[in-house]
Structures are given as structure tokens and as C-alpha cells.
């Protein structure tokens, strides 16, 4: 992977910060060189490759934690030129904040624990924790991959009754009476390719016939003019 070379001083080298500020805490723990190194190696978004939670029921306290952390990072951007490497790095960091703040879980006390590390400037520690959690999640997913499985009758009954209680009668009925094909199986990709042909398909004999026979106003009009009526006038008026 290519490493980015900086013409001038590395990012954040000339950064100024106040006493007892988040910037100082992060600088004292090497957080800014860590982010700059990730940026140089093209790894600013490596955490997005992991199956980590990035959302939760946003209680007022969770909103305050997440919003405050985001505001602090974006506020740092005001101290640098708009198109500088520092602004680019900090904005990328702001994007992956959910992976860091949900590293222990999505409950309020778990997010608060991660938020404490964030405010101490221990961003590299949070990043490493997220990487380890992501590796464990990926390993679990590899051992037990998600596969489409038909619901049992008992599961259908329970889901249908829950939908009915919630007022969604159409979904409740469809759960019991509609036969749903598996969402994903060995034939899914081929079926999707048939639904969405691309490449040289339209140049083949089948594609050419489809274009001339199906995508034709004259043929569509001829079909409706000769088709049997779908209904009839009401004899009683």
C-alpha cells in the first residue's frame, strides 16, 4: 500500500492547544500522530470492514455523548485551513466515531465508558479495542455465516400475532398465507443477473428479440387491442 509523503511538516506538528483541553489530552497520548499515520497508510476507514454496531436507541444521554464528541472533533477543524490535511484527517475521524464510541456496546453505560476514553485522548486505545472486537465479530460470522432459513409454523404464528397486535393486518396475513422464497441461496446471483442484464446481453439474439418484441409501442398497443377484457360493464348500471 502506498504511503503518503508530506511536502511540509507532518500534520498537527504546529498545532496549538489550551491547557486541560481535549486537544492537549490527545496530543499528550500521541493521538494526532496516530491518526496522521493511519491517513498516510490509507487506513483511516479500516474499522468499517468490521461488523461492529454503529447505531442504537438514541436516549437523550446517548445523544449528548455522541453529539458532544462530534462537536469537539469538528471544532478542532476550525483551527486549520479548510483544505488542509489536518481537516481531512479529523473529518475522517469524525465519520468513524460510532465504531469507537460503541466499542464496548450500545448501552448507555457502555457508551459512557468509551466516551471517557475519548475525552482522555486515548483514541489509539479505542481504535485497537475496536479492531480486536471487529476481528472477533468477523471470526464468529465466518464460523456461523448468516443463511436464509424458512420460519417454522410456530415462528410464523408468533410473528403474525405480533403484527396483528401492532395493527399491521396485511403483514400478519401475508406471514401466514404468502409463500416467500429464500432471500439468498446458490441461485440468487444468477437470478439477479437475469433480472438486470448488462454487458453484451443486448447484442445477443435473445437480447435483440427482447428489444424488438417487448420494448415496442406498436407491439404493446397490438397486445391491448387484441387482449380479452379484464372486466365488463355492470348490467344493473
| Residue 58 DSSP symbol | -
- The pLDDT tens digits for 95-149 are 999 899 999 988 889 999 999 999 999 999 999 999 999 888 888 878 877 666 7
In sequence order, which residues have a C-beta less than 8 Å from that of residue 45 and are 6 or more positions away?
A: 92, 95, 96
Q: Are residues 45 and 119 in the same domain?
A: yes
Split into its structural domains, the chain has a count of: 3
Q: Of the candidates 85, 98, 11, which has an alpha carbon nearest to the alpha carbon of residue 47? A: 98
pLDDT given for residue 49 in this prediction:
81
Q: Are residues 181 and 168 in the same domain?
A: yes
Residue 153 domain flag: yes
Q: Are residues 70 and 45 in the same domain?
A: yes
What residues make up the domain containing 154? 149-185
Q: Are residues 139 and 30 in the same domain?
A: yes
- The pLDDT tens digits for 128-141 are 999 999 888 888 87
Q: Are residues 155 and 46 in the same domain?
A: no
pLDDT given for residue 3 in this prediction:
44
b/e per residue 50-66 (b: at least 16 CB within 10 A) = bebeeebeeeeebeebb
In sequence order, which residues have a C-beta less than 8 Å from that of residue 210 and are 6 or more positions away?
A: 202
Query: What is the overall mean pLDDT for the chain?
Result: 82
Q: Are residues 49 and 82 in the same domain?
A: yes
Q: Which residues of the chain have pLDDT under 70?
A: 1-9, 146-148, 179-186, 199, 230-237
Residue 228 domain flag: no
Residue 237 domain flag: no
Residue 12 domain flag: no
d(CA 98, CA 76): 18
Amino acid at each position: 500500500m502506498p504511503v503518503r509523503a508530506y511536502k511540509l511538516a507532518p500534520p498537527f506538528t504546529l498545532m496549538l492547544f489550551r491547557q486541560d483541553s481535549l486537544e492537549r489530552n490527545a496530543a499528550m497520548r500521541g493521538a494526532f500522530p496516530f491518526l496522521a499515520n493511519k491517513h498516510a497508510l490509507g487506513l483511516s476507514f479500516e474499522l468499517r470492514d468490521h461488523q461492529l454496531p454503529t447505531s442504537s436507541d438514541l436516549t437523550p444521554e446517548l445523544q449528548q455523548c455522541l453529539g458532544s464528541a462530534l462537536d469537539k472533533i469538528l471544532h478542532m477543524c476550525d483551527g486549520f485551513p479548510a483544505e488542509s490535511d489536518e481537516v481531512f484527517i479529523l473529518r475522517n475521524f469524525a465519520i468513524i466515531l460510532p465504531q469507537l464510541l460503541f466499542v464496548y456496546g450500545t448501552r448507555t453505560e457502555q457508551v459512557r465508558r468509551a466516551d471517557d476514553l475519548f475525552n482522555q485522548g486515548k483514541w489509539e486505545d479505542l481504535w485497537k479495542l475496536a479492531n480486536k472486537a471487529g476481528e472477533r465479530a468477523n471470526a464468529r460470522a465466518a464460523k456461523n455465516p448468516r443463511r436464509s432459513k424458512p420460519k417454522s409454523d410456530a415462528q410464523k404464528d408468533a410473528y403474525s400475532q405480533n403484527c396483528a397486535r401492532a395493527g399491521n393486518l396485511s403483514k400478519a396475513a401475508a406471514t401466514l398465507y404468502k409463500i416467500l422464497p429464500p432471500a439468498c441461496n446458490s441461485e440468487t446471483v444468477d437470478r439477479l443477473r437475469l433480472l438486470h442484464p448488462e454487458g453484451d446481453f443486448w447484442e445477443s439474439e435473445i437480447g435483440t428479440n427482447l428489444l424488438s418484441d417487448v420494448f415496442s409501442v406498436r407491439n404493446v398497443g397490438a397486445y391491448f387491442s387484441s387482449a380479452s377484457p379484464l372486466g365488463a360493464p355492470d348490467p344493473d348500471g
